[in-house]
Chain A
Amino acid sequence: MTTKNQEENQAGITQEGRFYSAERLHAMHDMMLYIRRFEEKAGQMYGLKKIGGFCHLCNGQEAVCVGMEEASEPADYMMTSYRDHGHIIARGSDPTAIMAELLGRAGGVVGGKGGSMHMFDKEKNFAGGNGIVGEQVPIGTGFAFASKYNDDKRVSITIMGDGGVNQGAVYESFNMAALWKLPVVFVIENNQYAMGTSLSRASAETHLYKRGISFKVPGIQVDGMDVLEVERKMAEALEHARLGKGPMIVEMMTYRYRGHSMSDPATYRTRDEVDEWRSGRDPIVRLQKQMIEAGLATEADFKQKDKDIKKEVVAVAKAAEAQPEPDLSALWDDIITDEIPNAYPYPRQVG
């Protein structure tokens, strides 16, 4: 299925009739690898207690982050849960600001107020970073409502987990989105576990792409470990939504290599199971193999690239760490827009 494409004299790969140029493939690969190394660095910094609280890494799920971003337009909205580092990196936010956020520094994406779980970047149309499971689903539906209202053809990419999909508000959202033909793609990152609960222990219907059937929301299942398939299927779903045909569910079959958060030893799954995904289906290795086979790169190229990326990430961490903590006065910023000065509780005051 993967062939070297000689058409237009351009090097690349054609998969399922869709052509990816060498340049684009390299960009996708580099971004996935960057996310992997960034997360590893974050894990390390957490171990050193430089990052606090809850910290959820997305190692293993990079193809979902990158493939979706590749398929979408910069003007499309995107929002997800607390497992947000990979998505916001793929969206193109400044990695130093992301790392600074993890460290609680003034130059963080939200000024150090949110930390790992609450990454937002309005300029990149990235609306979180939501800590309450399922919370972003009606919110994403609201962004889609605004798109339809303004008729500006922007699609809302609303991401949730296989655990989040059981929240009631998800189904209220499916129904509203279908009823009003809202341009939203509901992405379910099915990484098989919600904390320590495997999919089949929490869901009677484990084919999550079918969850929209009774709301007339079509669904598809995607190999979320294959960045090209993610890109292709996501492009279809986005087109469906953009053309005014209403919402769509895209179930991404993926796996998180690490524990749920940094404090989870993940003893609820076997080593064999993890290895099966990690060494058998890794999205980065998979793309590397495809690219080598197609003569677009060599193993040595990828080794060098990895070295370069690791260096970049170290530099990012250093730059972020060099930043000061937020000024104490920032505590009182951004609570209320129209402050009313002479009524209690008084703005910016204790007591």
Chain B
Amino acid sequence: MAKITYREALNQAMCQEMERDERVFLMGEEVAEYNGAYKVSQGMLDKFGPRRVIDTPITELGFAGLGVGAAMAGLRPVIEFMTWNFAILAADQIVNAAAKMKYMTGGQYDCPMVFRGAGGAAARVSSQHSQAFENWYANIPGLKVVMPSNPADAKGLLAASIRDNDTVIFIENEMNYGDIGEVPEGDYIIPLGKADIKRVGKDITLIAHSRMTGYALLAADELAKQGIDAEVIDPRTIRPLDEATILTSVAKTNRAVVIEEGWRFAGIGAEISARIMEKGFDDLDAPVARVTGKDVPMPYAANLENYALPSVAEIVEAARVVCNRA
């Protein structure tokens, strides 16, 4: 295994799938000649040429819809949004077209495509550029929502998403692009819909996705020092959710904290904690706690931004409360 970055892992997945399947192409703003705003598509124009790696005008609704049509016509588009903040402009094509095309056409048309790009909070870019939208898309039947938290998962999950026959919302995290990790070489696929136990523990289950998985692991280290042995689970696929892995863990630990960067109201944590309550109620020794972003648009000032985001300390504190150790 080689040590590579999260962005290189995503690049490998796209290259691997484009080599395998002639129908796959990459389209988005600055993906070709600039090698990607965040350099995820580095070298892909050179490798695959302008027929398959295509720079667009700044016209998100247009090229998202173009992707939908191309998918319906038999291609396998990978549509990059520079960030998911800009995908809001394309929401109609994603939600009204891609997500329900198969259903509305009685199964005549498929929409096998990936919408991908950076999501979540970046650093100091204020309210319009620092937002988590996974709960929006996870609410929509017809979509799959995938979020990798480390380089290996980034490669395996993106490759699987491109091979998948449905529309996949693939949300990367800008703050993770430079993270380095061991990534299997060659063809590598991680099946969608499978959570991963990132740390085994017996006292409490921490459930976190994307960048928050790293935070949960740091919190687990801190909790270990305080005598609390935390298990960390990364759902990896948000929709559909591998609740069996979560429920099995909670049956063992009897306690859980769900962590997400996004807003609490109607967030991913709301769904996961509701499922634990519905299906694992008898296993619980304490109410499930949530650690989330504060209920505010993201501010620019460094101190306010820091305060708005979830922190490792908040996760530790929540876990202590759930373990009756606060």
Contact = CB atoms under 8 A, between A and B. Distances in A.
Interface string B290-301: 101011110111
B245 interface: no
A325 to B, nearest CB: 5
Interface residues of A, number: 43
Nearest to A117: B126
A201 B290 CA distance: 47
Interface stretch (A9-17, A32-40, A191-199, A233-241): A191-199
A277 B182 CA distance: 47
A51 to B, nearest CB: 8
A201 B45 CA distance: 15
B317 to A, nearest CB: 11
Contact of A332 (B34, B124, B127, B296): B296
Interface string B96-134: 000000000000000000000000001111111100000
A101 B123 CA distance: 16
Contacts of A344: 265
B128 A132 contact: yes
B302 A325 contact: yes
A167 B89 CA distance: 9
B127 to A, nearest CB: 7
Nearest to B35: A196
B55 A53 contact: no
A328 interface: yes
B57 A53 contact: no
B164 interface: no
B265 A131 contact: no
B30 interface: yes
Interface in A189-218: 194-197, 201-203
Which applies to chain B's interface (DSSP): helix, strand, loop or mixed?
A: loop
B304 A328 contact: yes
A180 B56 CA distance: 32
B33 A325 contact: no
A131 B126 contact: yes
Which applies to chain A's interface (DSSP): helix, strand, loop or mixed?
A: loop
A345 B324 CA distance: 25
A124 interface: no
A326 interface: yes
A201 B57 CA distance: 8
A148 to B, nearest CB: 27
Interface string A107-145: 010001111011000000000001111100000000000
A168 to B, nearest CB: 6
B126 A202 contact: no
A345 B307 contact: no
A85 interface: no
3 nearest A-B residue pairs (beta carbon): A52-B124, A53-B124, A115-B300
13 contacts: A53-B125, A53-B129, A108-B301, A114-B127, A117-B128, A132-B88, A194-B57, A197-B33, A202-B58, A331-B299, A331-B308, A335-B297, A344-B265
Given A197-B55, A326-B299, A349-B295, 15 more contacts: A53-B129, A104-B301, A112-B300, A112-B301, A112-B304, A113-B304, A115-B125, A134-B58, A163-B57, A168-B59, A195-B37, A268-B33, A325-B302, A326-B304, A351-B292
Interface of B: 29-30, 33-34, 37, 55-62, 85-86, 88-89, 122-129, 264-265, 290, 292, 294-297, 299-304, 307-308
